[in-house]
Amino acid sequence: MDEALRERTGDHRFDILVNNAGIGQIVTLEETTEESFDEVMNINIKAPLFVTQQALPRLKDGGRIINISSFVTRVASPSVFAYSMSKGAIDTLTHILAQQLGSRNITVNAIQPGIINTEMNDETLKDPNGQKFAAGLSTFKRWGESEDVADIAAFLASSDSRWVIGQLKAFQSSLLLFLQKIDISLTFFSFTFECLLYSSFDALNPFTGLNFTVRLLSALISNLINPGSLAR
C-alpha cells in the first residue's frame, strides 16, 4: 500500500478513504449457498474492514472515511438476503469507526443509495418491469445515476462536512419517506398509550396526568404537521 500511495501521490499518507467496492446477488435465504454467501461477505464487508484497518495508520488526522451502504438496510428485501446483511454490517462499522476516530477529527459516514445505474444493476434496468420498479422507488420517479452518489460523497469528503459524523445518508425514495411517516405515527401512538396509563394511575391528582397527556399530544400533533418542532 505504501508503495502504491507514493507512486500516485508522492506520500504514504492520504486524506480520504471511500469503501465503494461491492457486489449484489438476487438470492433468497432458501437459495443461498455457503459459497455465494462467502463471496458477498468477502467483497462487501471483509474487504472494506481490512482495507480500513490498513488505512488507519496512513490516514491523516482530519481525514474522511466514506462507506457505501444501501437502502436495503432500511427496507426488508428478502430477494437480496446476503447483500442486505453485508450492508447492515457496513452501517454498524460506520458507527463504530465514527466513535473510535472522532478524537482524530476523522469523520466516518455512510451513503445508502437506492437503485443506481451501474453494472451491478444492468439486468434490472434493461428490463421494462425493472425500470418501472427502480423509478417507482424514488420521489423523483427515476433511478439514480453515479453522479447522484458522487456529489454526496464529494460533500462528505469536503471540509464543509466537518461537523457530520456517524451518519447514514439515505436517498429519500418514496418508500423511505413513507416509512418515516409510519415511524412518526408509531411514536405518536406509543407516547399516547404511555400517557394514558400515567394519567390512569395518578391517584393523588388525576388531572395532573390528564393535563400532561393533553399537552404532550398537542406537541406531537404539531410535530406531525411541522416536523422538527419538538427539537426546537
Known catalytic residues?
A: 83
Cα–Cα distance measured from residue 187 to residue 190, given in angstroms and rounded to the nearest whole number = 5
Cα–Cα distance measured from residue 70 to residue 37, given in angstroms and rounded to the nearest whole number = 17
Looking from the CA of 230 toward its CB, the CA atoms found within 13 Å total: 15
Are the beta carbons of 10 and 52 closer than 8 angstroms? no
Q: How many Cβ atoms are within 10 Å of 96's Cβ, its own excluded?
A: 12
Please report where in the chains the cell 432500511 appears, as a residue.
74
CA nearest 90: which of 76, 71, 107? 71
Q: What is the dihedral of CA 151, 112, 184, 142, to 10 degrees?
A: 70
Name beta bridge partners: 173.
138
Cell of 208: 395532573
Name beta bridge partners: 59.
14
Residue type (1 letter), 145: E
Phi-psi category of 10—alpha, beta or left, where left has phi over 0 and alpha has psi -120 to 50?
A: left
The kind and range of the H/E element at 109 are strand 107-112
